[in-house]
């Protein structure tokens, strides 16, 4: 066996692991897009106005990019007090800071706060639901001007996977009848996040 052949054999486990990671990433995002498009096209669940729903085909997404799928360090906040997050209407959305997450993105150290809804944590099936609203430098150009959201779940351990390819627009981006949380200023990223759902037309 030559040394080159030996190196190729050694590389097989790493290649297999990388391929498995890639296939998991692709499958997860494929399912996310199918489910979100189905929701928008459904007559019962769609946030779209009826005239827009009847014309709806699919949401416009940025191209999938695994660079926007990052592992973040969790710093849980046990002493955070409940507060009213600003919304697009006068509604009070009561949240509590659950954790600060730190991660590398675009070659820089980034951080965002993750929140837990006081209302949702009392609903069966949503007890472990976490909310990650954020804004970035693409807002108002490539992405929706009011920022975007991501859904997470409470995990054990000190790290959590954050996939910006699953960032979606608030319902009020499509229909003004909705009252949507406004991403806090502390959750602004000073980079362009060109992943997830793009801005709707005319936004």
Domain interval for residue 182: 60-203
Q: Which of 30, 59, 88 is the last residue of a domain?
A: 59
Q: Examine the domain organization and report whether 34 and 53 are in the same domain.
A: yes
pLDDT at residue 20, rounded to an integer: 58
3-state SS string over the chain? CCHHHHHHHHHHHHHHHHHHHHHHHHHHHHHHHHHHHHHHHCCCCCCCCHHHHCCCCCCCECCCCHHHEEEEEEEECCCCCCEEECECCCCCEEEEEEEEEEEEECCEEEEEEEEEECCHHHCCCCCCEEEEEEEECCECCCECCCCEEEEEECCCCCEEEEEHHHCECCHHHCCCCCCCECCCHHHEECCCCCCCECCCCCC
Across the chain, what does the average pLDDT equal? 91
Global pTM reads 0.88
Across 132-138, average pLDDT: 99
Q: Examine the domain organization and report whether 162 and 74 are in the same domain.
A: yes
Q: pLDDT tens digit string along 85-108? A: 999 998 989 999 999 999 999 999
Q: Examine the domain organization and report whether 70 and 134 are in the same domain.
A: yes
pLDDT at residue 15, rounded to an integer: 40
Q: Examine the domain organization and report whether 69 and 15 are in the same domain.
A: no
Q: Examine the domain organization and report whether 47 and 71 are in the same domain.
A: no
Across 156-161, average pLDDT: 97
Q: Examine the domain organization and report whether 48 and 23 are in the same domain.
A: yes
pLDDT at residue 183, rounded to an integer: 98
pLDDT at 181 over 60: yes
């Amino acid at each position: 066996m030559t040394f080159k052949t030996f190196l190729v054999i050694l590389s097989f486990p790493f290649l297999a692991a990388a391929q498995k990671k890639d296939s998991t990433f692709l499958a997860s995002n494929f399912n996310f897009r199918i489910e979100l498009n189905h929701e928008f096209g459904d007559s019962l669940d769609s946030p779209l106005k009826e005239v827009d729903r009847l014309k709806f085909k699919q949401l416009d997404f940025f191209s999938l990019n695994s660079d926007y799928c990052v592992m973040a360090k969790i710093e849980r906040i046990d002493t955070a007090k409940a507060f009213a997050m600003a919304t697009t209407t006068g509604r009070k959305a009561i949240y509590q800071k659950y954790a600060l997450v730190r991660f590398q993105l675009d070659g820089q150290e980034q951080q965002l706060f993750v929140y837990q809804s006081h209302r949702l944590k009392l609903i069966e099936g949503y007890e472990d639901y976490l909310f990650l609203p954020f804004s970035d430098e693409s807002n108002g150009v490539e992405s929706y001007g009011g920022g975007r959201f991501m859904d997470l779940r409470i995990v054990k351990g000190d790290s959590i996977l954050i996939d910006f390819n699953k960032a979606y627009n608030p319902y009020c981006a499509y229909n003004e009848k909705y009252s949507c949380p406004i991403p806090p200023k502390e959750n602004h990223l000073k980079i362009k996040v060109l992943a997830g759902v793009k801005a709707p037309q005319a936004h």
